[in-house]
Amino acid sequence: MAADIKNITEKFKKLSIDPVYDTNWCDMLVEIKLECIGKMEFAERLSLRCTAKAERSLVDSQKIKFTKGVFWGDHSALGFDLFCDNTCEFGMRSEDINKNLELMKYVKKIGMFDNLEISIGSSIKNKFLAYQDQFFTDEGRFAAKNIELQYCKMDNIIAVLRKMSDGVESIKINTVRTVLGELGKVLAISHVQNVPYWHIRDYYHTDSLHKVAQMWIDKNSKIGFTFQVSVKGVDGSFEKFLEHFFDRIVAENFKRARIRTNNPDRHILLERGLDHYVQVDDYLQFFRLIVISAEMKESEYDDNCKEWICKMDPVMQRMYDFDYNHGR
């Protein structure tokens, strides 16, 4: 018992000579503050940046990672949701458009996203359209590995893609009713020229296949680069591709066409998405372009188009799942 008391006394003495820190936040070194800010969640950072101009500057200087960010807008509001590990960490919806726009610009400045989705409609009845355009066109840059753009005006799509930071791994452009000539502006963007995978869903023209392939030829794009498109309401994309590259055709049939590039090591393969769901005379058609090795044999082609069609179009995924669950 006496030995226990002695041990406790010695430990108490050691504790009593340690200094006791009682420092306010405002007295901390900047380096320590930055370490603390780096550990804070988004809501905590928002609270801190409201305390003083100096703290606001410190908070704004620190990036924060999100697994996913969703920015959206309609005829009545703007909003966003931020996710970490598939859990929504912070969300904002308000008709106070100025407040939301300021916050969205802040998130745009400090956010680093694995996945970024922007779904801001362009209805002519949208009274907040000017504010939404301001979000797209302001000077800030988006930092994301994978970006998905839905229901956006083509001008805003181009503005976003031009302002992406380096490191983009995939670009998904969904539901686009462009006018002829605008695709050329997209193909002139360096991120589009260098992205390993991108697609356009629900496109309304027949020019995408041969224009993307020509861009890849001009840029000597890498093996594995992939472009996919679903074409709505029109026919002739496959035929226009063949017509444009008639002097480069290596092989062709009803389902595929293969052409030479300027690099003897590389070819470009065009594939139709054809199975019992998707037929060539359907209203909606699917195509895939891939930069392949010139040594690739026909026996190495992937005949299962289901996977790449579903990657582009979730509606098709639900159709496949429905038949599977009902034994069809």
Indicate whether 83 and 56 sit together in one domain: no
- Higher-pLDDT residue of 185 and 140 is 185
Task: Reply yes or no on whether the pLDDT at 20 is more than 80.
Answer: no
Q: By residue range, what is the domain housing residue 69?
A: 63-168
Please check the confidence at residue 12 and state whether its pLDDT lies above 50.
no
Secondary structure of residue 268 in the 3-state scheme: strand
CA quadruple 320, 223, 212, 123: dihedral positive or negative?
positive
Count of the separate structural domains present in the chain: 3
Q: In Å, how far from its chain's centre is CA 17?
A: 55
What is the rounded CA–CA span in Å between residue 156 and residue 124? 15
The band of 266, judged by pLDDT with boundaries at 50, 70 and 90, is very high
Whether 220 and 318 share a structural domain: yes
Largest CA distance in the chain: 99
With beta carbons less than 8 A apart as the criterion, state whether 174 and 203 touch.
Answer: no
My answer on whether 85 and 136 are in the same domain is: yes
Angle (CA) 113-119-121 rounded to 5° is: 155
Last residue of one domain, picked from the residues 168, 186, 214: 168
Decide if 127 contacts 158 (C-beta within 8 A).
no
Percent of the chain with pLDDT over 90: 38
Is residue 193 in a domain? Answer: no
Provide the total of helices (H) and of strands (E) in the chain, helices listed first: 13, 12
What's the pLDDT band for 324 if we cut at 50, 70, 90?
very low
For residue 147, pLDDT over 90 is answered with yes
- pTM of the shown model: 0.83
Average pLDDT, the chain: 82
Q: Residue 8: helix, strand or coil by DSSP?
A: helix
Q: CATH number for the domain including 318?
A: 3.30.310
| Average pLDDT over every residue of 200-211 | 90
Query: What are the pLDDT digits (tens) for 41-60?
Result: 888 988 888 888 888 888 88
The enclosing domain of 96 has a CATH number of 3.30.420
Report yes or no: 207 and 234 within 8 Å, Cβ to Cβ.
no
User: Quick one: which of 207, 201, 296 has its CA closest to 243?
Assistant: 207
What is the pLDDT, as a whole number, of residue 92? 80
Pick the more confident residue, 206 or 210: 210
